[in-house]
Structure 1
Amino acid sequence: MSEVSQTIELPSIESAIALSGKKEENLKFLSQHTGTKVVLRGNTVVISGREKAVERCVKAVRSLAPYWKEGKTIARAEIETAFHAIDTGRTDEYKDLQQTILARTRRGEQIRAKTFRQRQYIQAIQTHDITFCIGPAGTGKTFLAAVLAVQALLNDECERLILTRPAVEAGEKLGFLPGDLQQKVNPFLRPLYDALYEFIEPEKIPDLMERGKIEVAPIAYMRGRTLNNAFIIVDEAQNTTPAQLKMLLTRLGANSRMVVTGDVTQTDLPSAQESGLIVAQRILKSVEGIAFCHLSAADVVRHALVQKIVAAYESYEQPKRANV
């Protein structure tokens, strides 16, 4: 079969940089995924190879136009979603995903779902009182929940935002850490603070916390409470015990919503202790009003290497799980 070649003219050098990615990682991925040769010459992309492979690659590049036209960094997950949409006839749905802006950061950056599963996760949060999201690092589990939570707070859809996670990590316990309670807790809650800083001026957060609008605390401090009119995010739930997670889930009060996130492959509990997240998944999977969303390595939106690391660990651990 003879080879063909097609070219795509990009509008600017910024577009070329956005499409090619760091060290041309995106172009290399497009080439590997389609079996074509993809070369960037100035602002021109040249794609050559077998006719059908070239057509598929061209469709993928053109479908990513809403990103590269504006010079926005394109993640590996977005390219994979483009191919998935082309291969499964979901191109219209993909266009809708690209056009739906979830929020804007303080710097004006647009936040949107980058994959179909991320979009499903967002829709689950919007339509369920309790949503579980299970998946590896870098898939946006906590960040997307925080986006929706901050929006709900700023739009007066809830009275307070509660962020909590178990203070168990890498064998450390609060009692061994220096400082008062807040200083002890802060290292464990840093990922939640980071998400807040994207949408709320850092100097305003202490005031919101003092007024009770934002509460950040370890799970142990939720005991005995009823959480009304709140948006609750439970992060790193794989490190809860079954009793802890049951206690937390039963704190849900009137007009409240809860999102529980975790990665069941990264549990820091003692080896003999079963994860509350795994137990909850078994017990609650059929309960009406509760949604379970699962993200995978294909949804990783951090550095391209993170996706490779997650995939490598999954491949290594699968045979071990099969022998258990």
Structure 2
Amino acid sequence: MPTSILTPPADPNALFQALLEFPDNRLLIDLCGEYDRNLARIEQKLGVQIVRRGNQLVVHGEESAVKEAQDVLESLYVRLEAGRDVESGDIDREICMGGSDAETGIQDGDQLEMFRGGKVEIKTRKKLVEPRTDAQKTYVQNLFANELAFGIGPAGTGKTYLAVAVGVSMFLNGDVDRIILSRPAVEAGERLGFLPGDMKDKVDPYMQPLYDALNDFLPGKQVAKLIEEKRIEIAPLAFMRGRTLANAFVVLDEAQNATSMQMKMFLTRLGEGSRMVITGDRSQVDLPRGVSSGLHDAERLLQNIPSISFNYFTAKDVVRHPLVAAIIEAYEAEEART
């Protein structure tokens, strides 16, 4: 752990200064990043100035910003001490979540390891997944705590990615026997019939984001084997009719494009020992004019039922390129004016 000293200025109009001393210079190099890019990112996000002097970092700025930078630098260094890398997303997460390690409230013994020290960590075969915002952290907690959870918000907020990560984690731990991922195959400009190949070839492009998420968490050969064994299923929403999904982790993605009848059909597939996650973006409905979105109706009808959680995301939770958040905010502002 680094040691730090916060020094108030003698002149009331001057800036605060914090001195952080790091015991391992090699880890400090990783903390700073190539060409000090990690320090530059913290400076830009928090409005501070960071100067490196040997094995020390000196932070200059307003008192609150300096204290926040101290917390972020210390948390990132502890991460490096644990043998883990520091990437730009990790920096953004520490800044956004303020280094808070509040208790999760989840008591299941098998899950405590994922929430050690209040931090939410999802273990998969290929990587350790960590929420990057408070909304994402609450969402993951609710995925473990509730049999049915909704994730509603704009693109890029990690709704589907985190849901699939939790599904893979629960599958690897033996909590469920299958993973079932589904999407409505709604045409958005192009027509399915004009695509080449059989039905699988026609619908696979609509399912590709789900394949992408799986391949992030499991080796490609294992994904292919599990799909062949029907332990992982990726199928259009229409293929869910008539089934009872027991002992499965079930995700319905792009749920805003499900009709009310389809949504009711899907929700009533929930079987014994299963978890179900519904994700969607209310601003991207591709249904024909006059057709009600099943996501909207479910949100209205199920809000007050216990053991069903509704989790909402905003542009602040976007974890893609920073421009994506700016674009979403611009569109939301335009919608608010009309």
TM bin (shorter chain): 0.7 to 0.9
- 2:87 is aligned with 1:73: yes
Question: Following superposition of structure 1 onto structure 2, how do residues 55-204 of structure 1 map, counting pairs within 5 Å?
Answer: 55-69=67-81, 70-75=84-89, 77-83=92-98, 90=100, 96-98=117-119, 100-106=120-126, 109-204=127-222
Change beyond 3 A, Cα 1:232–1:120: same
| Pairwise CA distance, 1:145 | 1.3
Structure 2 residue matching 1:64: 3-state secondary structure? helix
Q: Relative to structure 1, is the Cα distance of residues 123 and 232 closer, same or farther in structure 2, using a 3 angstrom cutoff?
A: same
Q: What is the alpha-carbon distance in structure 1 between the residues aligned to residue 168 and residue 239 of structure 2?
A: 22
For residue 310 of structure 1, what is the aligned residue in structure 2?
325
Query: Residues 174, 66 of structure 1: CA spacing in aligned structure 2 closer, same or farther, 3 A cutoff?
Result: farther
Q: How far 1:183 moved relative to its partner?
A: 1.3
Say whether residues 1:287 and 2:275 are aligned partners.
Answer: no
- Tell me the matched-pair count: 311
Q: Is the 8 A contact 1:18 1:73 kept in 2?
A: no
C-alpha distance in structure 2 between counterparts of 1:130 and 1:281, whole Å: 12
Higher relative contact order (CA 8 A, sep 6+): 1
Pair 1:22–1:135, CA change in 2 (3 A): farther
For 1:255 and 1:40, locate their aligned partners in 2 and report how far apart those are by CA, in whole Å. 54
Partner of 1:221: 239
Contact kept, 8 Å, 2:94 with 2:132, in 1: the verdict is: no
Q: Is the 8 A contact 1:121 1:293 kept in 2?
A: yes
Deviation at 1:238, TM superposition (A): 1.6
Distance in 2 (alpha carbons) for counterparts of 1:276 and 1:301: 27
TM-aligned CA deviation for residue 130 of structure 1: 1.0
Contact 2:318/2:324 (8 A) holds in 1: no
Rounded to whole Å, the distance in 2 between the matches of 1:292 and 1:66 is 33
Q: Is the 8 A contact 1:167 1:173 kept in 2?
A: no
Q: Classify 1:16/1:283 alpha carbon distance in 2 versus 1 (closer, same or farther; 3 Å).
A: farther
Measured in 1, the distance between the counterparts of 2:153 and 2:142 equals 15
Deviations along 1:257-284, one digit per CA (max 9) or x if unpaired, are 1111112222223344332212211121
Q: Relative to structure 2, which stretch is displaced further, 12-21 or 57-66?
A: 12-21
State the distance in 1 between where 2:35 and 2:231 align. 40
Separation of aligned partners in 2, 1:166 and 1:21: 44
- Aligned pair in 2 of structure 1 residues 197, 140: CA closer, same or farther (>3 Å)? same
Supply the AA of the counterpart residue of 1:274. Answer: S
Residue 51 (structure 1) shift: 4.4
The residue number in structure 1 matching 2:5 is none
Please give the alpha-carbon distance, in whole angstroms, between the structure 1 residues aligned to 2:30 and 2:309.
39
- How many angstroms does 1:73 deviate by? 0.9
* 2:253 aligned partner, one-letter code: D
Task: Give the AA of the match of 2:231.
Answer: K
Q: Give distance in 2, aligned partners of 1:153 and 1:123.
A: 17
Distance change in 2, residues 1:156/1:82 (3 Å): closer
Q: Aligned to 2:217, what secondary structure does the other structure show?
A: coil
Q: Which residue in 1 is equivalent to 2:263?
A: 245
Contact 1:231 1:258 in 2 (8 A): yes
- The residue type equivalent to 1:96 in the other structure is G
Aligned to 1:257: 275
Instruction: Name the stretch that deviates more: 29-38 or 115-124.
Output: 29-38
The 2-side partners of 1:81 and 1:114 are apart by 7
* CA–CA separation in structure 2 for the residues paired with 1:216 and 1:289: 26
Contact 2:97 2:134 in 1 (8 A): no
Deviation at 1:237, TM superposition (A): 1.0
How far off its partner does 1:43 sit? 6.6
Alignment match, 2:3: none
Describe the superposition over 1:176-205 as per-residue Cα deviations: whole angstroms up to 9, x where unpaired: 211112211211111111222233332233
Q: C-alpha distance in 2, partners of 1:104/1:47?
A: 36
RMSD, matched Cα: 2.9
Question: Percentage identity across aligned positions?
Answer: 40
In structure 2, the CA distance between the partners of 1:42 and 1:278, relative to structure 1 (3 Å rule), is farther
Provide closer, same or farther for how the CA distance between residues 211 and 82 of structure 1 changes in structure 2, counting only shifts above 3 A.
closer
**Distance in 1 separating the partners of 2:237 and 2:28:** 45
Which 5+ residue runs of structure 1 have no aligned equivalent?
A: none
Shift of the 316–195 alpha-carbon distance from structure 1 to 2, 3 Å rule, reads closer
